[in-house]
Structure 1
């Protein structure tokens, strides 16, 4: 910033205008809203309901709690698009449940960390939106490619 202010390369107002125009993107506005949606779903109790649904759907399988963790993270990642929000919301419930169910601490944390990354590859994803904004590729085309 000091080099910009002290330098005579371009006027300061032009620099500020270029900085603003580089982040003034309708596509990038989706990322904070995905984070907000994940936070609202977590505090509203949707994550617990998703875990109950996942337990009813796949909890009967061998290694049931681990499978429930992965399935719940997949569902939550589909809804909020943020892997960070997914790990925070589902991990707060499932890590203690996994430890109580007899799994080790390392396994419980590894399971939730790996399952939380499913939000990255399942649309809508903040990574896909960032890639789309940086390269100019259509967000819709990326989401369709992720589905197919």
Structure 2
């Protein structure tokens, strides 16, 4: 997968997970919906730093995910990394499948929700359903659905 495809996939995944329309993303970031659409559909080369920064900030995309797309690596083994960083930046197998960007994002979202689920005192049906919905998203990514 080319870098522009990885960036487009990442932005689209975050936008859809947040339930944000292209129009709302345009309103919030000042980046035109057609520009965002071209990024998401891989028809936009050379996304400017300014545009990428606005989208990354708005969607809350961790810088570590952008580092992976751009091929940056860290040689500092003494740092303890948070799980978010590890899930998005390391190469690994999950269910005997090499994790791609979509699978990494789905797994990260599931683990974050599982962490929330495990750390609250009283769990609601809505929270249980959200966890199950994220498990379904993860499963669909694994099965290529």
The answer to which structure has the higher helix fraction is: 1
State the TM-score, normalizing by the size of structure 1.
0.26
Q: Which has the larger radius of gyration?
A: 1
Does 1 or 2 have the higher relative contact order (CA < 8 Å, sep 6+)?
Answer: 1
State the TM-score, normalizing by the size of structure 2.
0.26
